[in-house]
Amino acid sequence: MPTNIPISLPPDLQQRLQEAGIEDQAGLDALLARDPDLRLAVQVAIQQWALAHFAEIPDSATLLAWAERFPFLSEPGFTQAVEEQIGQAQAAGQAALAQALQERLPALASLRAQLAGDDAGLPPLVTALLAFLAAEDDEAARRVYIQHDALLHSEEARHTLTYGFAWDDPADWQRSQARARLLAELQQHPPIPPQMQPPDIPALRQELSRRQHRLQQLETESLRTYGPARADCLLAIAEEQAAIAALQRAIDDCQTA
């Protein structure tokens, strides 16, 4: 997910986050997982922010980057909201704003056409998340997670699932909440792929070695980063440590079976 799209939440939400002692993205994710009402408020604020700044998008490449982070941009409801904003700007005598929005509508239509039909035009992460959301039950969702581990075992996946979709149906909203909690659980305690189940100890050890190497890289990187980037790195380190622990337990179970 692009990380160079700055988002400013309304002052009241910023104050609520400050009062909750939120200092990094990991803390924010944990808070929103515990507080569905706050999570909905943040999602609505992000959608309003995207609408307010839509006129600033300079080109189609930037629009695609936005859509990758905020899939709701490709939904009919967002186009309708832009059209309503054009009418409001014209009524208020804001000709420049109305023109800027009008000029960007064709690019929005092109984006929707590109992503229409099947999922072939969607970013791979969005496709994986849609499959994760559409899974019949939690067990099926776990299989989707294993299949798309490279995409779904990431902070980017959590952010997109948390902020990137707009839900009009309360049932869809509740389902997305449940799947967001499941995604966090799977990222913290990654499942072992079926093809790696005992007695395939060599495959387990190979995956363990890969994870350990990745952990070393992250630990080195954490020494060179600061601020939010370091917090993200430390979160990734914790995720790798959890995966390594799960793999080591699986190997131990094989050897004692």
Residue 218 resides in a domain = yes
The number of distinct structural domains making up the chain is: 1
Residue 210 resides in a domain = yes
Residue 216 resides in a domain = yes
H or E stretch covering 102: helix 95-115
Question: What is the C-alpha separation between 86 and 101, in angstroms, rounded?
Answer: 6
Residue 158 resides in a domain = no
* Nearest alpha carbon to residue 155 among 62, 218, 75: 218
Return the sign of the alpha-carbon dihedral for residues 94, 95, 96, 97: positive
CA distances from 173 to 50, 72, 161, 162 (A): 20, 14, 11, 11
Residue 224 resides in a domain = yes
Q: pTM score, two decimals? A: 0.47
pLDDT digit string (tens) for the chain, length 257 residues: 333 445 677 888 888 888 888 777 777 777 777 787 888 788 788 888 888 888 888 877 788 778 877 878 877 788 888 889 999 989 999 999 999 888 888 888 777 766 665 444 567 777 788 888 888 888 888 888 888 887 888 877 887 787 667 666 677 777 887 888 888 888 888 776 655 554 567 777 888 888 888 888 888 877 777 666 666 777 778 777 877 887 787 777 776 65
Please give the residue range of the domain that contains residue 228.
198-257
Question: What is the C-alpha separation between 257 and 255, in angstroms, rounded?
Answer: 6
Residue 179 resides in a domain = no
